[in-house]
């Protein structure tokens, strides 16, 4: 499944992964192009395994995976040089402060100490830890730890950023700030992002495209905006009268109308606006009395639930 | 007033070549411990012991007639000499510091990373498991270098300065080689054993006690000696890594080994131990922990 016409940064073909007898990924074939992509799926769907395979942490035995033009089976180090990972768990080294930790991360990639220190200060300011950068990590809140993990992943200026549940355990303002950072990195700084999460709003807010995984299989691969456009606008009408006739009239014009309690749910065909409903109501005159009209919308959540159910 | 951009900027600096990937791990580990007062103090004390050795050497070499007469007066019960045996004795006694620093520095090296799930941080970077292992081993080796190799080499230089004669040089020319080889063996064996224990255990106390048992140090030396007495077999010396290191040390310094079997057997035992420990470490350090 291809996500865009741009040259893909991640390509997998028939990728299978298993832990012992438990098969986690089943013939995953996918192409991810530059930009922000969400990797969405319920717990245990294989998201983290796919990320680890991309990084070369788990050897590829069946199928193939290429990341940024490098083979995941034989060029893991070249891949990791160009990737930044924000792991799900805390994984911080105690006894350090944020500057030391980020500098150390840069040196592990191969940056000189001078470059790593300079860059550590830059990215720590960028992620909002400028004032707290000399504090011991043990005193950091969960939100600060998540920001620090982002900083250590960005220190060597990767081409691709892999984020594994980056908003876990964060309070709403912290979560918003983190999502804003992710959006900024991908949209204005030219760093591609692969965001693995089970939180749909995170993907909706930050990603252009989404890959939905279920039980180790890719069940949907779509652009987030196109998803919403294709679904069209949805309205719930409630009241009294001949809703059957109204439904038939709207269906005759190419729209979907299904009966709900005391009314109708109308899904307008792509490109149509609410005036279509007003016109149909005018035609029905007093035969239909609408007391409640609200746009129900069709979020990614509907399609996600539909895809994994 | 200039406004400095504190936003994210792309970086196009140079990434350093691969062979030195282990170095930042060693460097970070050493800098984590070395500035602490207790480590500086202990390193200082370990050198004070060597200073006494230096004073001893001064007495031997500058007061040969006196010490010779004293030795004769004591009926040869105490021998005063400044040959390879003296240097071996000096470096062998430094084992106490080797044990101390290996335990203090090494016990938490891998255990802490495993506890804090930091392994995936390392392996999400272009670091191989070997880089990680050698980087951690380097931390232990650095402390042993300061407490063992450096003072022993300085002692040898001091001896040569006190007696700058061709005869004395001929007597002790091989000592620096022996010091270097023996120190390398000690670092490899004690360091890899500690990394293996640290990779298996979680708590420092458990790791330290396990290390002492497997190394055969302290009270376990007595156990080996008792086993030799009861069974009459010399080969019990092979069971203890500490005894094997001692056997090899005697041989390297050109002295009579304490055990009757050939030192090559000890070397074989030590190589096997290092191999096994390395295997254990590689088995335990996984970037991905899977719980099925």
Domain boundaries, chain A: 10-225, 232-308
Exposed/middle/buried for residue B167 (C-beta within 10 Å: 0-12, 13-18, 19+)? exposed
Evaluate whether residue B15 is within a structural domain. Answer: no
Q: Quick one: which of A284, A282, A291 has its CA closest to A239?
A: A291
A109 and B9 within 8 Å at the Cβ level: the answer is no
Q: How far apart are the first and last CA of chain A?
A: 20
The tens digit of pLDDT for each residue in A13-59 reads: 999 998 888 889 999 999 998 999 999 988 888 998 999 898 888 88
B9 and A122 within 8 Å at the Cβ level: the answer is yes
DSSP assignments along chain B, one per residue: ------S------PPPPGGGTTHHHHHHHHHHHTTSHHHHHHHHHHHHHHHHHHHHHHHHHH-HHHHHHHHHHTTTSS----SHHHHHHHHHHTHHHHHHHHHHHHTTHHHHHHHTTTHHHHHTSS--HHHHHHHHHHHHHHHHIIIIIHHHHHHHHHHHHH---HHHHHHHTTHHHHHHHHHHHHHHHHHHHHHHHHHH-SSHHHHHHHHHHHHT-THHHHHHHHHHHHH--GGGGGT-HHHHHHHHHHHHTT---SSSS-HHHHHHHHHHHHHHHHHHHHHH--SS----
**B15 lies within 8 A of chain A by CB:** yes
What sign has the CA pseudo-torsion A19, A24, A28, A30?
negative
The tens digit of pLDDT for each residue in A242-266 reads: 888 999 999 888 888 888 888 888 8
Query: What mean pLDDT do residues B141-148 have?
Result: 96
Output phi, psi for B47, to 5 deg. -80, -30
B14 and A92 within 8 Å at the Cβ level: the answer is no
User: How, if at all, do strands A192-197 and A36-40 pair?
Assistant: parallel
Neighbouring CB atoms inside 10 A of A60's CB total: 19
Answer whether A103's CB lies under 8 Å from A65's CB: no
List the single range of A17-21, A35-39, A270-274, B95-99 with lowest mean pLDDT: A270-274
The domain over range A232-308 is classified in CATH as 3.30.70: yes
Mean per-residue pLDDT over chain A, rounded = 87
Structural domain tally of chain B?
Answer: 1
**Portion of chain B with pLDDT greater than 90, in percent:** 64
State the fold for domain A10-225.
Answer: Rossmann fold (3.40.50)
Q: Quick one: which of B145, B150, B175 has its CA closest to B160?
A: B175
Task: State yes or no: pLDDT of A190 exceeds 70.
Answer: yes
A117: pLDDT confidence band, cut at 50, 70 and 90? very high
B2: pLDDT confidence band, cut at 50, 70 and 90? very low
Compare B291 and B59 and report the one with higher pLDDT.
Answer: B59
Per-residue pLDDT, B5: 53
Query: Can you tell me whether residue A213 is helix, strand or coil?
Result: strand
Answer whether B288's CB lies under 8 Å from A52's CB: yes
Output phi, psi for B100, to 5 deg. -60, -50
Evaluate whether residue B168 is within a structural domain. Answer: yes
Task: State yes or no: pLDDT of A60 exceeds 90.
Answer: no
> Which residues, 6+ apart, have CB-to-CB distance to B5 below 8 Å?
none
Task: State yes or no: pLDDT of A110 exceeds 60.
Answer: yes
Query: Can you tell me whether residue A148 is helix, strand or coil?
Result: helix
A308: pLDDT confidence band, cut at 50, 70 and 90? low
Per-residue pLDDT, B1: 45
**What's the ipTM?**
0.86
Mean per-residue pLDDT over chain B, rounded = 89
**B9 lies within 8 A of chain A by CB:** yes
Residue B82 sits in which domain range?
Answer: 21-284
Evaluate whether residue B12 is within a structural domain. Answer: no
Instruction: Please give the Cα distance from A72 to B148 (Å, whole number).
Output: 44
Q: Which residue of B has its CA nearest to A161?
A: B124
Among A87, A184, A189, the residue with its CB nearest the CB of B120 is A87
Which of B10, B25, B125 is the mutation pick for testing A, counting most A CBs within 10 A? Answer: B125
A80 and B120 within 8 Å at the Cβ level: the answer is no
List the single range of A86-95, A180-189, B241-250 with lowest mean pLDDT: A86-95
A87 and B124 within 8 Å at the Cβ level: the answer is yes
B181: pLDDT confidence band, cut at 50, 70 and 90? very high
Compare A130 and B195 and report the one with higher pLDDT.
Answer: B195
Task: State yes or no: pLDDT of A1 exceeds 70.
Answer: no
Among B12, B118, B128, the residue with its CB nearest the CB of A92 is B118
Query: What mean pLDDT do residues B154-183 have?
Result: 94
Instruction: Please give the Cα distance from A164 to A86 (Å, whole number).
Output: 6
Query: Can you tell me whether residue A13 is helix, strand or coil?
Result: strand
List the single range of A276-285, B5-14, B51-60 with lowest mean pLDDT: B5-14
- The label of the residue with tokens 């300085």 reads B154
Partner residues linked to A39 by β-bridges = A196, A211
Query: Can you tell me whether residue A292 is helix, strand or coil?
Result: strand
Compare A197 and A231 and report the one with higher pLDDT.
Answer: A197
- DSSP letter at A59 equals -
Exposed/middle/buried for residue A300 (C-beta within 10 Å: 0-12, 13-18, 19+)? buried
SS3 content of chain A, % helix, strand, coil (to 5): 40, 30, 30
Per-residue pLDDT, B278: 97
B24 and A107 within 8 Å at the Cβ level: the answer is yes
Query: Can you tell me whether residue A217 is helix, strand or coil?
Result: strand
Residue A191: which H helix or E strand, with range? Answer: none
List the single range of A5-9, A100-104, B241-245 with lowest mean pLDDT: A5-9
Nearest Cα of chain A lies from the Cα of B249 at a distance, in angstroms, of 37
Query: What mean pLDDT do residues B272-277 have?
Result: 97
**CA-atom Rg of chain B in angstroms:** 23
Among B11, B13, B116, the residue with its CB nearest the CB of A93 is B116
Instruction: Please give the Cα distance from A222 to A203 (Å, whole number).
Output: 12
Query: What mean pLDDT do residues B271-291 have?
Result: 88
> Which residues, 6+ apart, have CB-to-CB distance to A123 below 8 Å?
A102, A151, A154, A155, B8
Instruction: Please give the Cα distance from A66 to A76 (Å, whole number).
Output: 10
A157 to chain B: which residues are within 8 Å by CB? 10-12
Output phi, psi for B14, to 5 deg. -100, 135
Query: What mean pLDDT do residues B262-278 have?
Result: 95
Read off the tokens for A175: 């979560």
Query: What mean pLDDT do residues B78-106 have?
Result: 90
List the single range of A101-115, A147-161, A190-204 with lowest mean pLDDT: A190-204
Per-residue pLDDT, A6: 67
Instruction: Please give the Cα distance from A251 to A274 (Å, whole number).
Output: 15
Query: What mean pLDDT do residues B23-41 have?
Result: 94
- DSSP letter at A189 equals S
Task: State yes or no: pLDDT of A224 exceeds 80.
Answer: no
Evaluate whether residue B5 is within a structural domain. Answer: no
Task: State yes or no: pLDDT of B217 exceeds 60.
Answer: yes
Query: Can you tell me whether residue A85 is helix, strand or coil?
Result: strand
B169: pLDDT confidence band, cut at 50, 70 and 90? very high
Instruction: Please give the Cα distance from A84 to A88 (Å, whole number).
Output: 13
Among B21, B116, B124, the residue with its CB nearest the CB of A110 is B21
Evaluate whether residue B153 is within a structural domain. Answer: yes
Instruction: Please give the Cα distance from A211 to A28 (Å, whole number).
Output: 11
Instruction: Please give the Cα distance from B138 to B24 (Å, whole number).
Output: 10
- DSSP letter at A232 equals -
Instruction: Please give the Cα distance from B130 to A137 (Å, whole number).
Output: 28
The tens digit of pLDDT for each residue in B48-68 reads: 989 988 988 888 888 777 777
> Which residues, 6+ apart, have CB-to-CB distance to A153 below 8 Å?
A84, A85, A86, A105, A161, A162, A163, B124
């Amino acid at each position: 499944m291809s996500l865009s016409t741009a040259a893909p940064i991640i390509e997998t073909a028939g990728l299978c992964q298993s832990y012992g007898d438990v098969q986690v990924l089943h013939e995953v074939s996918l192409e991810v192009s530059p930009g922000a992509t969400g990797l969405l799926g319920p717990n245990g769907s294989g998201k983290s395994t796919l990320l680890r395979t991309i990084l070369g942490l788990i050897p590829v035995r069946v199928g193939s995976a290429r990341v940024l033009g490098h083979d995941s089976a034989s060029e893991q180090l070249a891949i990791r040089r160009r990737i930044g990972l924000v792991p799900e768990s805390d994984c911080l080294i105690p006894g350090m402060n944020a500057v030391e930790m980020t500098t150390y991360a840069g040196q592990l990639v191969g940056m000189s100490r001078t470059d790593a220190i300079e860059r550590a200060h830059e990215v720590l300011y960028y992620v909002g830890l400028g004032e707290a950068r000399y504090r011991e990590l043990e005193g950091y809140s969960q939100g600060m730890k998540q920001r620090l993990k982002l900083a250590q992943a960005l220190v060597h200026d990767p081409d691709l950023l892999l984020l594994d549940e980056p908003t876990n355990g964060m309070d709403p303002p912290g979560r918003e700030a983190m999502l804003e950072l992710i959006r900024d990195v991908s949209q204005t700084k030219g760093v591609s992002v692969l965001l693995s999460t089970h939180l749909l709003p995170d993907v909706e807010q930050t990603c252009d495209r989404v890959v939905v995984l279920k039980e180790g299989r890719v069940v949907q691969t779509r652009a987030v905006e196109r998803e919403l456009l294709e679904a069209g606008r949805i309205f719930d009408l409630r009241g009294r009268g001949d809703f059957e006739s109204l439904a038939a009239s709207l269906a005759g014009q190419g729209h979907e109308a299904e009966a709900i309690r005391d009314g109708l749910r109308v899904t307008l065909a792509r490109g149509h606006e609410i005036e279509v409903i007003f016109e149909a109501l005018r035609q029905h005159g007093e035969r239909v009395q609408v007391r409640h009209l609200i746009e129900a919308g069709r979020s990614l959540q509907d399609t996600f639930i539909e895809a994994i159910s | 007033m200039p406004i400095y951009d504190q936003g994210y900027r792309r970086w196009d600096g140079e990434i350093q070549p691969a062979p030195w990937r282990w170095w930042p791990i060693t460097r970070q580990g050493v800098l984590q411990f070395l500035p602490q007062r207790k480590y500086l103090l202990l390193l200082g004390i370990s050198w004070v012991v060597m200073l006494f050795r230096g004073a001893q050497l001064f007495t031997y070499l500058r007061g040969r007639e006196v010490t010779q007469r004293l030795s004769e007066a004591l009926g040869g019960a105490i021998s005063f000499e400044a040959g390879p045996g003296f240097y071996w004795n000096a470096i062998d006694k430094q084992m106490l510091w080797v044990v101390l620093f290996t335990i203090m520095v090494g016990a938490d090296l891998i255990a802490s990373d495993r506890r804090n799930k930091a392994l995936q941080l390392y392996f999400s970077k272009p670091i191989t498991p070997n880089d990680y292992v050698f980087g951690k081993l380097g931390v232990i080796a650095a402390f042993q270098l300061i407490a063992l190799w450096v003072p022993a080499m300085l002692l040898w230089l001091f001896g040569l300065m006190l007696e700058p004669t061709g005869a004395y040089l001929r007597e002790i020319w091989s000592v620096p080689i022996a010091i270097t080889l023996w120190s390398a063996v000690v670092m490899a064996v004690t360091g890899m054993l500690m990394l293996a224990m640290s990779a298996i255990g979680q708590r420092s106390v458990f790791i330290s006690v396990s290390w002492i048992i497997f190394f055969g140090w302290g009270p376990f030396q007595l156990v080996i000696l008792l086993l030799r007495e009861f069974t009459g077999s010399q080969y019990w010396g092979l069971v203890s890594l500490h005894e094997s290191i001692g056997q090899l040390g005697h041989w390297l310094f050109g002295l009579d080994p304490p055990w009757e079997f050939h030192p090559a057997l000890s070397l074989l035992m030590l190589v096997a131990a290092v191999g096994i420990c390395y295997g254990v470490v590689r088995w335990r350090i996984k970037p991905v922990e899977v719980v099925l």
